[in-house]
């Protein structure tokens, strides 16, 4: 027996199909069709408490004006509401930026964004994706990124009864045949680079990147408390990133924040080569001299790499300096992340086991390690074949 309520308040009852209890169902009137017949929205759950919470949340959104009635709710409106009401608390700022960018560039004001949620079907999504690739020449990776971020949005819509299925699961995404080229410094180029940066303001930063494989954010977030000079190791405990805070009104504010590393595997302890350890000690000595000289003007945040006043350095500066130095050396410039790839390449070339490389790099899956560095493995395969030739040299 349903718990009867006044019109617009909703009702809750057991959900029974063919005599089998499937859980609970809440139902609420959201208007009427052209024939005057009531349109009802329904929520399902395993317990009475669960469906009651869904019903109350829906009524709250309606009362706040956050959601229009079902017959007017568009994909654009729902994505925006879902992002700022459901995901803003559990997404890291950088990830939230990407979700908001998807909304702003590919949903807001678009043909698909204006489709009513109740009318949305997989064919609409498929057409939108095809047009992005065929007409607007967007890369396949962009379309896949759009579908990836739209999928949890529609999952929540399905959960709340706005749509019957998550149509993101029903589209056909084209294969991305583009190969991501990994650019690294060769051994000879690395030697030239190390020679060229002697005395440079970011010399020690570049050396740490080449000798530990840390990501730029991990390097900028490194504090002296993370460096153990007794054991000759450093521990990655945080990352420093410049993010853009976006509020509901679209106002944007750029700021630098500390946050946890990319994944739990990214929290790791890495050995530091002895020569680099000496460089780090000298670097700390010079930093302390500068701190004592400036006194109260110095902001002691304990960062290993900072400007003269102790504040984080501009995260674009290392990449700009790297490009400038490599250009002067007549070496094809690589991205700063290429120094991380260079570190892994040297490890593979030294026959360090892939599992060890995975741990040192902080990859959560060894397939990532192997997929990225297949160019090194090609040489390893040739060596293996040569060894077989020697074995079977009868």
**pLDDT tens figures, 172-198:** 998 877 777 788 998 999 999 999 999
Q: How far apart are alpha carbons 94 and 255 in whole angstroms?
A: 11
Mean pLDDT of 20-40: 67
Q: Distance between CA 88 and CA 382 in Å, rounded?
A: 50
Q: How sure is the predictor about 154, in pLDDT bands with cuts at 50, 70 and 90? A: very high
Please report which residue ranges of 65-200 form alpha helices under DSSP H: 75-82, 93-102, 122-134, 140-159, 187-196
Question: 10 Å Cβ neighbour count for 189?
Answer: 16
Asked if residue 324 has pLDDT above 50, the reply is yes
pTM: 0.73
In whole angstroms, give the CA distance from residue 360 to residue 393.
Answer: 38
DSSP H helices, 237-315, are 274-294
Stretch among 21-25, 36-40, 373-377 having the lowest mean pLDDT: 36-40
Q: Outline which parts of the chain fall under CATH 1.10.443.10.
A: 187-385
Q: What are phi and psi of 257, to 5 degrees?
A: -130, 155
What is the reported pLDDT for 6? 37
CATH 1.10.150.130 maps onto the chain at 73-176
Strand partners, 215: none
Q: What is the pLDDT of residue 5?
A: 42
Judge whether 32 and 22 are in contact, CB under 8 Å: no
- Residue 67: CB atoms within 10 Å: 22
String of DSSP letters for 167-180:
GGGGS-PPP-----
| The pLDDT of residue 147 is above 70 | yes
Q: Which residue has the higher pLDDT, 68 or 314?
A: 314
Residue 129: predicted pLDDT: 96
Element (H, E) at 74: none
Highest mean pLDDT among 276-290, 353-367, 369-383: 276-290
Say if residues 32 and 39 touch (Cβ distance below 8 Å): yes
3-state secondary structure of 374: helix
The CATH class given to the 73-176 domain equals: mainly alpha
Domain 187-385 CATH assignment equals 3.30.70.870: no
The pLDDT of residue 201: 95
Burial of 247 (0-12, 13-18, 19+ CB in 10 A): exposed
Query: Which among 57, 262, 43 is positioned nearest to 158, based on CA atoms?
Result: 43
pLDDT at residue 319, as a whole number: 97
Read off the tokens for 360. 């040192």
Distance of CA 78 to the CA centre of its chain: 22
Question: What is the average per-residue pLDDT within 61-86?
Answer: 76
Whether the CB-CB separation of 140 and 184 falls below 8 Å is answered with no
Q: How far is CA 386 from CA 79, 95, 346, 381, 391, in A?
A: 57, 46, 21, 9, 9
CA distances from 39 to 32, 70, 113 (A): 5, 9, 23
CA atoms within 13 A on the CB side of 14: 8
């Amino acid at each position: 027996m349903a718990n009867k309520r006044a019109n617009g308040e909703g009702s809750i009852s057991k959900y029974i199909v063919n005599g089998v209890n499937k859980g609970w169902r809440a139902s609420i009137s959201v208007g009427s069709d052209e024939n005057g017949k009531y349109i009802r929205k329904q929520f399902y759950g395993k317990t009475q408490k669960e469906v009651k919470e869904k019903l109350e949340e829906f009524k709250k959104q309606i009362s706040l004006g956050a959601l229009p009635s079902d017959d007017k709710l568009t994909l654009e409106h729902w994505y925006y509401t879902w992002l700022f009401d459901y995901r803003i608390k559990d997404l890291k700022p950088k990830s939230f930026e990407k979700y908001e960018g998807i909304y702003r560039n590919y949903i807001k004001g678009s043909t698909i964004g204006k489709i009513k949620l109740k009318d949305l079907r997989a064919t609409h999504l498929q057409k939108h994706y095809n047009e992005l690739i065929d007409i607007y020449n967007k890369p396949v990776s962009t379309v896949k990124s759009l579908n990836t971020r739209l999928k949890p949005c529609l999952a929540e819509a399905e959960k709340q009864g706005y749509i019957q299925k998550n149509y993101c699961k029903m589209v056909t995404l084209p294969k991305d045949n583009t190969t991501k080229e990994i650019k690294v410094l060769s051994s000879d180029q690395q030697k030239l680079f190390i020679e060229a940066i002697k005395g440079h303001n970011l010399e020690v930063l570049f050396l740490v990147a080449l000798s530990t494989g840390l990501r730029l954010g991990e390097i900028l977030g490194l504090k002296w408390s993370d460096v153990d000079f007794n054991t000759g190791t450093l521990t990655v405990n945080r990352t420093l990133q410049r993010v853009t805070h976006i509020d509901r009104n679209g106002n944007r504010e750029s700021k630098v924040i500390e946050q946890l590393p990319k994944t739990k595997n990214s929290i790791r302890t890495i050995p530091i080569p002895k020569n680099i350890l000496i460089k780090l000690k000298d670097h700390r000595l010079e930093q302390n001299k500068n701190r004592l000289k400036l006194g109260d003007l110095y902001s002691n945040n304990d960062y290993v790499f900072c400007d003269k006043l102790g504040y984080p350095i501009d995260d674009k500066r290392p990449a700009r300096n790297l490009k400038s130095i490599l250009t002067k050396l007549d070496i094809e410039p690589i991205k700063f992340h290429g120094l991380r790839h260079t570190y892994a390449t040297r490890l593979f070339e030294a026959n360090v086991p892939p599992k060890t490389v995975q741990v040192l790099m902080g990859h959560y899956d060894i397939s990532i390690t192997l997929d990225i560095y297949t160019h090194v493995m090609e040489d390893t395969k040739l060596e293996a074949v040569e060894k077989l030739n020697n074995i079977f040299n009868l």
